[in-house]
């Protein structure tokens, strides 16, 4: 089995090796153009020969551009039996790619043929063509800019011809100059040139997509000659020659040897080596001499110099700058004014401390190497005795007893400055007044004064850290030459949060005034701590605080204000601002029995500082005060209740919904009715009765159906109201069973009348006083039969007057449930219950008759 597997793999490898060669001979690709503009379409076709017998009869041809398969191929069989596939690529966006014609062979893609496609742009016109005649190489060198990239192989050719005119007519052609690949310059040898004859020159660019040419350049080779730069150097000083002046340099140069026969001019440039100064141009230099003295430079300064030349007056090009030459200018004597100031030592008055400051008189005042203090004795002519030689700006020396004046000079290698006399005069001038100082910022101090009279010629201002040390090296001073000045801003050697001693001395002609001193801090600090709060008195809603201000400190900014903060237990904060002169404060509006945290903040222009926190609690209210408060609250509540009750009682719209004004029959005149003939009262359950009453006036009116009228004994006025009990007549229909209203007047023969007891006038007067009207309102008729099977009936009278001051005259359906309305609109009463003994049960539901006392009817005991 292993041998068989090895044999199969060997044959498969052999087939793969043999197939490419055999398939490549079967196909051929042809394209419309192998090089096109970038983005243009391109068409290609692939033809498979008929003699490829190992292929299928209808093989499928595939296209691949680079590594990507391209769809859109159109395949067909030609008349000669070959297979052809054509494809059009709409946009060739690759500058270089391979197009392949392939077939699916087995499980792999086999390439039949492939072709390289190129895309790019035609060459642009070359720009900025220029030529220079190099006398060193004796050749004309031309250069140009090729333009943008074409993505295609592009060749450049420098073409030229000779011309006797203005290059309008072309003469003999000159051999083309082809630059090396990637270069944009070319040289025409001297043997092809006529140095003083015009020639036309241009550059031609060419690739597969086109050709372009630059504008033609017409020139004479010697008109574009470029010389080599000369050599620049300096001469050594000789004893016979005078040394150069300060700030000057002696220069020499030698022209380029091949150009000695050419007239030319040169120019020089220089700049200091130190700093970032720009080049300074000097020229043109004189043609006849090859030497030049350059002045106006800074003394004792190193310079870098270069030179270049050009053909002149004929046309030409500037040469390159020569190699740099470095030289140093000579020293010059210091040109300064020395401001001096002196001071005698307290322990040794003959020892003098002399201070000075150089003030340049010119921009270039020369470098100072040291200072010399000398004294010329009066008895020795021409003798100068040095007292001090130093590089510092001060010197201490013993002053000879006979010396009243010394001389101070600055020197260097070139000489000395003009001597500055120092006169040791006495302090006999007037002093200045109102000397003061204040800090402007952390690094400056302003010192001011009032000038004395007469004005001095100047002032000397000294300042240094305080307290002064044994050495005055930390002192800084300056001289103010303006005698009318009233102040000066000190900005030198000032550090923040330091105490400085400032001394100002006026200077007069041959005299000086006494010195005045003032102390000041360069920057004042905020107060170190705020005053401590103390509680002086406290109440239930207030607290009195006091504090002792801190004494003023040197270097601390004066206070501008205080701020008191207090916070309660609910983290509610309050504050108030007080003047710096305040010594106490009273807090008002505090809560009784409450805890408060209080602290004081002291503020100045330099900052603010908080003090310690004071915690206090307000007093608790006493018991008597609590009782007074509770009493006042109770009185207020009682007054509110009384006012509410009076408002409800006096307002009818509020009173009626709470308790309606319903008449009480038990206390009306109907409660005092008695029968007129007690012995003739009918027996029980044998009579029916009818009653009337008036609600508004309590005046009783005879019923329209009753014909009898009687007089009450002992009264001279007719009765107002009566109740009549009628006997039941079984043979006649009941009055409420008839449809004729007139039949109700047929009353039974036996009539029992009830009369009102008491004085009717009193009742009438009482009713009139209550209602104020005499309108009569008839409640209704109550009819009942104790022997009839049905219950009693209620008939409303035909009176149209309102009942109960606007209320409905008859009971509503929910007030007398025994009323029901039939479908025909007539009143129907439900059948009485068998358990009900009283046939007048529905009658008892009438609200106005429940309090009437009726005598003589035993059947109404339940009523």
Q: What is the DSSP string of 286-353?
A: PSS-SEEEE-SPPTT-EEEEEEEEEE-SS--BPPPPPPPEEEEPPP----EEEEEEEEE-SS-TTEEE
What is the Cα 302 distance to its own chain's centre?
55
For residues 235, 237, 239 and 241, what is the CA-based torsion angle, rounded to 10 degrees? Answer: 70
Residue 271: per-residue pLDDT: 93
CA-nearest of 205, 189, 100 to 153 is: 205
> Residues 520-541: what's their mean pLDDT?
86
> Residues 447-467: what's their mean pLDDT?
87
For residue 566, name the pLDDT band (cuts at 50, 70, 90): very high
For residue 595, name the pLDDT band (cuts at 50, 70, 90): very high
Most confident of 324-333, 419-428, 853-862: 324-333
Question: Is pLDDT at 600 greater than 90 in this prediction?
Answer: yes
> For a pLDDT cut of 90, what percent of the chain falls above it?
18
Contacts of residue 688, Cβ cutoff 8 Å, sequence gap at least 6: 725, 726, 727, 728, 748, 783, 784, 785
| Mean pLDDT of the chain, nearest integer | 74
> Residues 559-574: what's their mean pLDDT?
92
Decide if 348 contacts 376 (C-beta within 8 A): no
Token pair 């310059």 is found at 185
Residue 279: per-residue pLDDT: 92
For residue 447, name the pLDDT band (cuts at 50, 70, 90): very high
Residue 823: burial class (beta carbons within 10 Å; 0-12, 13-18, 19+): exposed
- Residue-wise pLDDT for 162-215, tens only, equals 888 788 888 888 888 999 888 899 998 888 888 888 888 999 999 989 999 999
What span, in angstroms and rounded, lies between the C-alpha atoms of 432 and 434? 7
Token pair 């203090």 is found at 373
> Residues 579-601: what's their mean pLDDT?
92
Decide if 72 contacts 87 (C-beta within 8 A): yes
Contacts of residue 728, Cβ cutoff 8 Å, sequence gap at least 6: 686, 687, 688, 748, 785, 786, 787, 788
For residue 657, name the pLDDT band (cuts at 50, 70, 90): low
- If one counts every other C-beta atom within 10 angstroms of the C-beta of residue 688, the result is 23
Residue 763: per-residue pLDDT: 41
**Span of 3-12, 39-48, 127-136, 220-229 with lowest mean pLDDT:** 3-12
- If one counts every other C-beta atom within 10 angstroms of the C-beta of residue 113, the result is 19
Question: Is pLDDT at 598 greater than 80 in this prediction?
Answer: yes
Q: Which residue has the higher pLDDT, 191 or 677?
A: 191
Residue 846: per-residue pLDDT: 52
CA-nearest of 301, 335, 504 to 411 is: 335
**Span of 214-218, 392-396, 789-793 with lowest mean pLDDT:** 789-793
What span, in angstroms and rounded, lies between the C-alpha atoms of 373 and 377? 13
Q: Which residue has the higher pLDDT, 373 or 849?
A: 373
Contacts of residue 790, Cβ cutoff 8 Å, sequence gap at least 6: 829, 832
> Residues 10-34: what's their mean pLDDT?
57
DSSP, res 427: B
Residue 375: per-residue pLDDT: 86
Question: Is pLDDT at 772 greater than 60 in this prediction?
Answer: no
The β-bridge relationship of strands 249-254 and 231-234 is antiparallel
Q: Which residue has the higher pLDDT, 56 or 334?
A: 334
> Residues 292-303: what's their mean pLDDT?
86
Contacts of residue 271, Cβ cutoff 8 Å, sequence gap at least 6: 277, 278, 279, 280, 303, 304
What span, in angstroms and rounded, lies between the C-alpha atoms of 702 and 719? 8
Would you give the end-to-end CA distance of the chain in angstroms?
Answer: 134
Decide if 605 contacts 525 (C-beta within 8 A): no
- If one counts every other C-beta atom within 10 angstroms of the C-beta of residue 180, the result is 7
CA-nearest of 726, 725, 677, 668 to 700 is: 668
Residue 432: per-residue pLDDT: 87
User: For the chain, what's the residue count?
Assistant: 863
Please give the model's pTM, rounded to 2 decimal places.
0.44
676 token code pair? 């007129």
851 token code pair? 């309090």
Contacts of residue 575, Cβ cutoff 8 Å, sequence gap at least 6: 563, 564, 565, 566
Residue 826: per-residue pLDDT: 43
For residues 243, 414, 385 and 378, what is the CA-based torsion angle, rounded to 10 degrees? Answer: 70
What span, in angstroms and rounded, lies between the C-alpha atoms of 121 and 40? 11
The kind and range of the H/E element at 770 are helix 760-771
Question: Is pLDDT at 834 greater than 70 in this prediction?
Answer: no
Question: Is pLDDT at 818 greater than 60 in this prediction?
Answer: no
CA-nearest of 518, 489, 498 to 442 is: 498
What span, in angstroms and rounded, lies between the C-alpha atoms of 404 and 352? 12
CA-nearest of 117, 38, 49 to 80 is: 49
What span, in angstroms and rounded, lies between the C-alpha atoms of 673 and 430? 137
**Span of 121-135, 332-346, 496-510, 703-717 with lowest mean pLDDT:** 703-717
């Amino acid at each position: 089995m292993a041998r068989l597997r090895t044999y199969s793999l060997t044959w498969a490898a052999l087939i793969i090796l043999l197939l490419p060669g055999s398939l490549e001979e079967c196909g051929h690709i042809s394209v419309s153009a192998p090089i096109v503009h970038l983005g243009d379409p391109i068409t290609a076709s692939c033809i498979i020969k008929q003699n490829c017998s190992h292929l299928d009869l209808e093989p499928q041809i595939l296209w691949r551009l680079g590594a990507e398969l391209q769809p859109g191929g159109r395949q067909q069989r030609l008349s000669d039996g070959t297979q052809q596939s054509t494809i059009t690529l709409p946009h060739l966006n690759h500058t270089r790619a391979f197009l392949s014609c392939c077939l699916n062979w087995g499980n792999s893609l086999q390439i039949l043929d492939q072709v390289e496609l190129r895309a790019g742009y035609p060459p642009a016109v070359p720009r900025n063509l220029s030529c220079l005649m190099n006398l060193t190489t004796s050749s004309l060198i031309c250069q140009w800019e090729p333009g943008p990239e074409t993505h295609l192989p592009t060749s450049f050719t420098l073409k030229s011809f000779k011309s006797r005119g203005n290059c309008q007519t072309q003469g003999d052609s000159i051999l083309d100059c082809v630059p090396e690949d990637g270069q944009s310059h070319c040289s025409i040898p001297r043997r092809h040139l006529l140095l003083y004859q015009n020639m036309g020159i241009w550059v031609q660019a060419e690739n597969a997509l086109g050709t372009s040419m630059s504008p033609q350049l017409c020139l004479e080779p010697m008109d574009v000659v470029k010389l080599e730069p000369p050599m620049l150097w300096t001469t050594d000083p000789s004893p016979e020659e005078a040394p150069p002046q300060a700030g000057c340099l002696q220069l020499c140069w030698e022209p380029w040897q091949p150009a000695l026969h050419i007239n030319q001019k040169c120019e020089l440039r220089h700049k200091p080596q130190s700093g970032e100064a720009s080049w300074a141009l000097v020229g043109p230099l004189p043609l006849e001499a090859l030497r030049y003295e350059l002045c106006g430079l800074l003394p004792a300064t190193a310079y870098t110099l270069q030179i270049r030349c050009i053909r002149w007056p004929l046309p030409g090009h500037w040469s390159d700058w020569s190699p740099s030459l470095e030289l140093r200018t000579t020293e010059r004597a210091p040109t300064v004014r020395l401001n001096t100031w002196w001071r005698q030592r307290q322990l040794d008055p003959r020892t003098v401390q002399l201070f000075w400051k150089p003030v340049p008189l010119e921009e270039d005042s020369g470098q100072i190497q040291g200072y010399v203090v000398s004294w010329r004795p009066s008895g020795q002519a021409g003798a100068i005795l040095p007292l001090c030689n130093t590089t510092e700006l001060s010197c201490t020396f013993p002053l000879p007893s006979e010396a009243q004046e010394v001389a101070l000079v600055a020197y260097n290698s070139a000489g000395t400055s003009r001597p500055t006399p120092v006169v040791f005069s006495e302090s006999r001038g007037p002093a200045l007044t109102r000397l003061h100082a204040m800090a402007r910022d952390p690094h400056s101090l302003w010192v001011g004064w009032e000038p004395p009279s007469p004005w001095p010629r100047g002032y000397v201002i000294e300042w240094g850290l305080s307290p002064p040390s044994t050495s005055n090296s930390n002192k800084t001073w300056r001289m103010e030459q303006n005698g009318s000045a009233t102040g000066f801003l000190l900005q030198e050697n000032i550090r923040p949060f330091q105490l400085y001693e400032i001394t100002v001395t006026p200077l007069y002609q041959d005299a000086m005034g006494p010195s005045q001193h003032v102390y000041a801090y360069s920057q004042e600090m905020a107060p170190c701590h705020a005053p401590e709060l103390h509680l002086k008195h406290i109440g239930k809603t207030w607290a009195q605080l006091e504090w002792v201000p801190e004494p003023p400190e040197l270097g601390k900014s004066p206070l501008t204000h205080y701020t008191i903060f207090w916070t309660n237990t609910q983290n509610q904060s309050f504050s108030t601002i007080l003047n710096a002169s305040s010594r106490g404060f009273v807090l008002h509006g505090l809560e009784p029995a409450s805890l408060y945290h209080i602290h004081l903040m002291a503020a100045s222009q330099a900052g603010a500082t908080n003090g310690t926190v004071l915690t206090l609690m307000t007093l608790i209210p006493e018991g008597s005060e609590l009782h007074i408060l509770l009493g006042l609250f109770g009185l207020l509540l009682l007054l509110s209740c009384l006012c509410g009750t009076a408002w409800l009682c006096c307002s009818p719209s509020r009173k009626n919904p709470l308790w309606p004004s319903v008449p009480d029959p038990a206390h009306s005149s109907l409660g005092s009715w008695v029968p007129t003939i007690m012995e003739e009262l009918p027996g029980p359950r044998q009579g029916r009765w009818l009653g009337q009453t008036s609600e508004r006036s309590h005046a009783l009116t005879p019923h329209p159906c009753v014909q009898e009228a009687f007089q009450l004994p002992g009264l001279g006025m007719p009765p107002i109201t009566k109740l009549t009990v009628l006997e039941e007549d079984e043979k006649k229909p009941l009055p409420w069973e008839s449809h004729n209203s007139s039949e109700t007047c047929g009353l039974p023969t036996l009539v029992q009348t009830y009369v009102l007891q008491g004085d009717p006038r009193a009742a009438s007067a009482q009713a009139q006083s209550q209602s104020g009207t005499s309108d009569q309102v008839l409640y209704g008729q109550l009819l009942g039969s104790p022997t009839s099977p049905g219950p009693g009936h209620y008939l409303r009278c035909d009176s149209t007057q309102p009942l109960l001051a606007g209320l409905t005259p008859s009971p509503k359906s929910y007030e007398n449930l025994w009323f029901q309305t039939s479908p025909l609109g007539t009143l129907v009463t439900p059948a009485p219950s068998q358990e009900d003994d009283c046939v007048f049960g529905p009658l008892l539901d009438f609200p106005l008759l429940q309090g009437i006392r009726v005598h003589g009817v035993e059947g109404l005991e339940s009523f």
